[in-house]
Each structure stands twice: as C-alpha cells, then as structure tokens.
C-alpha cells in the first residue's frame, strides 16, 4: 500500500469514527471494552448467560482472534490481570510465548552477524511456543465458571458466518501483502491475486472455527498435544512457502509445546496519589516502567502546574524510566533484575532531580538502582542497550462483572501479521515473538532456551480504598507503556474522565532524541504542541499510537466502559443495564 492510499484509508477511518462518536457506555451491570464490536458482543453474551468476567474475557479474546487476526490469536501469548472480588486481590497470569529448547543467540546470526530486525520476522525462527490457549485454560479453570465449549461458541459463530472486511482490517492486510504472499496458507486465507481482500468482502474463517471446535471438545491438550501440535511444529519448522521463497525454519519439537507452562505471578504494585496501581511483572517491562515513571512524577505537585508543564514532566519521567527499562529489565527467571531498586520511591526522587525546565537533549543514561536494593546478591550492572525495533501492534480488552471481578488483558502475535505463517488447515497465524529478544549480547534480554522475551504489554488495574477504580491497557509495542502512563496522568492529574483520557492526543517519549506524536488527531501544529516546543520538545510523526480500552468505576456504583473514537478504526464499549 503506497502512502497516498494509506492516507486516504486513514481519512476514511477518521471520518467514520467521527460520525460514530466515541464508544462510551455507563450502567450498573457487567461491562466490556474492546477494539471490536463482535468481540464486545461475545463478552456480553457470556455475561448475560451468567458467566463471570474471566469467562467473558476469554470469549472476547477468542472473538478478537477472528476479527483482528493480524494483532492477536491462539498462535501467540499474553498477560492477563484479574481482580478477584472474592479474594480482594489482583492476580497476574503470564502466558507469554517461550523460546523453544533449541534457541540461542546464534539463531539470529546465521552468518555471524545479527539479522536486520525486519528480515528476521517472516521466518520460522521468529516463532515462539504459543501460550494463549494454555493461558485461557488456566484462567477458566482457576477463576472462571464456564468451560471452553461455552466461551468459544460466539467466536465459532463469527468465524463460520463471517463479517464484511472493514477499513482497518483492509489497511493492515494491505500493509502485509508482501509478507503474506510468501506463504501459501496465508495468501489463500487473506489475499486475492496477491492483494488484500477488498473492502466489503465477507471474510470467513472455517478452519479457525473448526480449530476452536476441537479445543472446545478436547480442551487444552488438543492444542498442545496430538495432531494440532504436529501441525504447529511443522508450520514453524517447514513453513508452507511459495516456490522460490527461502525461509529459515525453526527446530521446534512436540516437547516444546507439551511442556509449555503458564505462570501465576505476583503483580507489580505501586502507589500514586492515593491509588494502588497493579501491573504485570517481568517478562513484561510495562509494570515496572509505568510504576517507576509514576514514582518520579509523584515527586512533583502537578496540581499547581499548567497542562504544558505537566506533560513536559510526563515526557521526561518516561524518558528516565525507559533508560532503566532498556538497560535492566528482562525475564527474571533468567536474569537478576533490580526490581526493588527500580520501584523504590527514594530512587525515583534521585532520578527526578535530573528533570529540568526544558527537555533533555537526547537520550539520557540509565541510573543506578542497585544502590536502592536490599538484596546485595544482585550482580554488577549489565551493559545498557538502545531501544530496538518493537512493532506497534497487539490488542487489549477490559471486562467486569456484576460481582465485582475485573479483567485487564493484553495479548498478541507480535507484529501485525506475526511471522506471516498461517498453520495450514488451522486458520491462525503464528507469532514472531522471538524477535522481541535482543539479537546479540551481553544484555539481560538476549535469547535463551525456555526464556520469555521482554515485552512492553502493560495491562493495569487501579484500586482506591481497596476497590477497583479504573483499568487501562493498549497495544502499541513499546508505546504501550507511554499510552498507559499518559492515560493515567490525563485521568488522575489532569482530571479527565477515563474516556477523555483515552481519546486525548498521545505523545511517546522512549529515551530518544525526539518524541513520537500522532497525526490522526492533529497534534502537530496544535496549541498543545507549540506550548511543549517552547520547552524544547521536538517531534517525530506517526499516524496513530495505540488503541486503548478501559473501565472506570464510579462513586455511585456504576461503571463506565470506554474505547477509542478513531484509532484502529474505533472500538466498542458495552455495559449491561439492570
């Protein structure tokens, strides 16, 4: 797709979103916010049938695997935060993909030097062991009330009946034409004469419907053992390429799938202006980075500052948090991360002293969180690394039920279109999560067998007085962290409703020379931009940043679900009415 066509598509999406208005709904029942109408309706169907928030979240996620197959699906993995109303606590469920047993840093250095990131994506070597189905199983078995047979039913129906190709589906499909054309199974599903399916075409995925049926009948083992597992391994090891296309195949085994495990982890907990903020621990870097940036911001009295100075401090706090994130954070099962130091309020006060009245001139150095560790066994500092390529894709959803259970769930196949490899006869794309590793070391995030690559996915649940106050999450690669952080600042410090905080123009500073801003909402040249430029900030432009969803729990006992008005074509928000 050329730039002119892409711009026209974006304008059409913007016009459609503006006419539709922002998806916001308020009521006293269960609530859901996703980026897809059918996915939100799938969740609501389960809530209406007596399911809880965990049941409904899995139903919505399965539906998103049909309607948003380029962003997520059972060929990938994710992070689910659950607030249990019964236990009054937050649970972190990690079903991130893992590196197969054969994996090591040399895999991305076939000729002795690291592959360019984009060249590494459309190959079998980019595929990690999928964790999504195992994660869904654990969530339902531990915290749900329904099984796969019931919660997958809406997604099966959507895949069988299909839906018209909309602007966003077409846009992402068109951006992936070259990658999809490499693989016979993928081009058969998503292309027509090597071009993206046209707008309005009814898209059906009967293979995925049958895959879901097999999981509904056979449970989690039907995915990780037997015929389906053999198909996944074969697709990764010997991708179904067109004649003349050369790929680097994986060396995944059936044992890699059979031995995959989810992890129940203690969430990252921090406090901010009377809120408890819960996020994901490693291998996500989001929970730590958001908490650290908020700790830095908490050293300033933002209530007395004009908006441009608040946003200046947000950008600089994000810059400092990313300097540390890039240097220190990786999978703690393989790396000693100085988590205690990074989350220390005292360390935040030290880092905050580096923020001046004007923007920093380029990247800043990482700090020394080890001085704030009580655990003196943590080794010497690793070598810092610059932020590498990380695609701005994925999806997020939020669900709550009448009993007070809440789910904030981000899951992904990594790039738009993942590795580009559709498992033949199965209807889903395999991830390219192995490209989230650093391709060479020494670095905490270097690839190792069984390791989970560092992620930026940052689902967040905020409590106040021990009760849910709001949730937020987004896709967007490394911009997920800044989207979640900025939305919290918009809501808590600038006094916006959660819906307005989600809709506001986004700025993403990730310890770079310039801050990334979006053109879709007209930020460049705006009064907001000019005010920040006076403080030394400079911009690099992109069309849009993230696609957030969230829930706001109101003082009167109602809940407001909110999604995007324009980004990603606009989202969906529904609340049950009593």
Q: How far is CA 456 from the centre of its chain?
A: 7
At 216, list the tokens: 């509904």
Check the annotation: does 436 bind a ligand.
Answer: yes
Nearest to 564 by CA among 504, 485, 494: 504
Say how far apart CA 183 and CA 198 lie, in whole Å.
20
Residue 132: active-site member: no
At 309, list the tokens: 């100075």
- Give 243's DSSP letter: T
Say how far apart CA 485 and CA 476 lie, in whole Å.
13
At 298, list the tokens: 């908490």
The answer to whether 486 touches 292, Cβ cutoff 8 Å, is: no
Check the annotation: does 497 bind a ligand.
Answer: no
Query: Which parts of 401-443 are beta strand (E)?
Result: 406-412
Structure-derived torsion over alpha carbons of residues 449, 69, 419, 220, reported in degrees to the nearest 10: 30
C-alpha Rg value of the chain to the nearest Å: 22
Handedness of CA 132, 135, 141, 145 (dihedral sign): negative
Active-site residue (options: 262, 282, 394, 479): 394
Within a 10 A sphere around the Cβ of 368, how many other Cβ atoms?
Answer: 15
At 260, list the tokens: 């995959």
Contacts of 268 (CB under 8 A, 6+ apart): 278, 279, 280, 281, 287, 288, 291, 339, 343
- φ/ψ (deg, to 5) at 562: -140, 140
Say how far apart CA 446 and CA 330 lie, in whole Å.
9
Check the annotation: does 351 bind a ligand.
Answer: no
Nearest to 471 by CA among 491, 456, 495, 493: 491
Check the annotation: does 455 bind a ligand.
Answer: yes
The answer to whether 104 touches 450, Cβ cutoff 8 Å, is: no
Q: How far is CA 257 from the centre of its chain?
A: 23
User: Crossing angle, helix 307-328 and helix 286-297, to 10 degrees?
Assistant: 140
Say how far apart CA 462 and CA 271 lie, in whole Å.
9
Nearest to 488 by CA among 545, 572, 552: 552
The answer to whether 190 touches 173, Cβ cutoff 8 Å, is: yes
Check the annotation: does 182 bind a ligand.
Answer: no
Question: CA dist 451 to 153, 327, 446, Å?
Answer: 33, 18, 9
Place of tokens 């595929």: 127
Say how far apart CA 429 and CA 418 lie, in whole Å.
7
Active site residues: 394
Q: Binding site for L-glutamate: which residues? A: 96, 436, 455-456, 477
Q: Binding site: which residues? A: 96, 436, 455-456, 477
């Amino acid at each position: 797709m050329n730039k002119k066509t892409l711009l026209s598509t974006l304008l059409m999406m913007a016009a459609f979103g503006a006419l539709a208005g922002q998806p916001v709904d308020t009521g006293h029942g269960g609530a859901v916010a996703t980026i897809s109408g059918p996915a939100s309706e799938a969740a609501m169907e389960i809530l209406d049938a007596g399911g809880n928030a965990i049941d409904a979240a899995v139903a919505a996620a399965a539906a998103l695997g049909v309607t948003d197959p380029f962003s997520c699906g059972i060929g990938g993995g994710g992070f689910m935060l659950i607030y249990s109303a019964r236990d009054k606590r937050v649970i972190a469920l990690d079903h991130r993909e893992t590196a197969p047993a054969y994996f090591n840093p040399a895999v991305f250095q076939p000729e002795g030097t690291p592959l360019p990131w984009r060249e590494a994506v459309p190959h079998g070597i980019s595929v990690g062991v999928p964790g999504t189905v195992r994660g869904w199983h654990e969530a339902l078995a531990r915290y749900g009330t329904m099984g796969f047979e019931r919660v997958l039913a809406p997604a099966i129906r959507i895949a069988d009946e299909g839906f018209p190709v909309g602007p966003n589906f077409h846009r992402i499909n068109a951006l992936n034409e070259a990658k999809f054309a490499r693989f016979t199974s993928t081009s058969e599903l998503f292309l027509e004469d090597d071009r993206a399916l046209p707008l309005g075409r009814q898209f059906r995925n009967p293979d995925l419907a049958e895959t879901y049926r097999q999981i509904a009948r056979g449970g989690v083992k039907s995915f990780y053992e037997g015929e389906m597992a053999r198909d996944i391994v074969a697709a990764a090891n010997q991708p179904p390429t067109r004649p003349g296309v050369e790929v680097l195949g994986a060396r995944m085994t059936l044992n890699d799938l059979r031995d995959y495990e989810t992890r129940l982890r203690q969430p990252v907990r921090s406090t901010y202006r009377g809120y408890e903020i819960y996020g994901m621990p490693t291998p996500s870097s989001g929970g730590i980075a958001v908490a650290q940036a908020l700790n830095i911001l908490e050293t300033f009295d933002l209530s007395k500052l004009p908006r441009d100075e608040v946003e200046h401090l947000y950008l600089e706090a994000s810059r400092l948090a990313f300097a540390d994130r890039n240097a220190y954070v990786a999978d703690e099962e393989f790396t000693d991360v100085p988590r205690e130091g990074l989350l220390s309020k005292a360390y935040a006060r030290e880092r905050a002293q580096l923020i001046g009245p004007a923007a920093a001139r380029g990247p800043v150095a990482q700090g020394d969180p080890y001085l704030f560790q009580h655990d003196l066994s943590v080794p010497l500092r690793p070598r810092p690394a610059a932020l590498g390529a990380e695609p701005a894709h994925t999806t997020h959803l939020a669900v709550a039920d009448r009993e007070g259970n809440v789910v904030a769930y981000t899951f992904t196949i990594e790039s738009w279109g993942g590795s580009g490899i559709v498992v033949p006869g199965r209807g889903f794309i395999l991830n390219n999560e192995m490209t989230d590793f650093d391709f060479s070391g020494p670095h905490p995030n270097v690839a190792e067998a069984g390791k989970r690559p560092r992620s930026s996915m940052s689902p967040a649940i905020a409590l106040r007085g021990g009760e849910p106050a709001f949730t937020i999450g987004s896709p967007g690669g490394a911009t997920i962290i800044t989207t979640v952080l900025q939305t919290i600042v918009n809501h808590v410090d600038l006094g916006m409703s959660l819906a307005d905080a989600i809709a506001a123009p986004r700025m993403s500073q990730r310890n770079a020379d310039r801050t990334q801003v979006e053109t879709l909402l007209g930020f460049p040249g705006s009064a907001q931009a000019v005010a920040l430029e006076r403080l030394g900030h400079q911009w690099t432009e992109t069309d849009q940043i993230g696609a957030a969803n969230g829930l706001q729990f109101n003082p009167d006992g109602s809940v407001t679900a909110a999604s995007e008005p324009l980004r990603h074509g606009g989202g969906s928000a529904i609340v049950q009415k009593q």
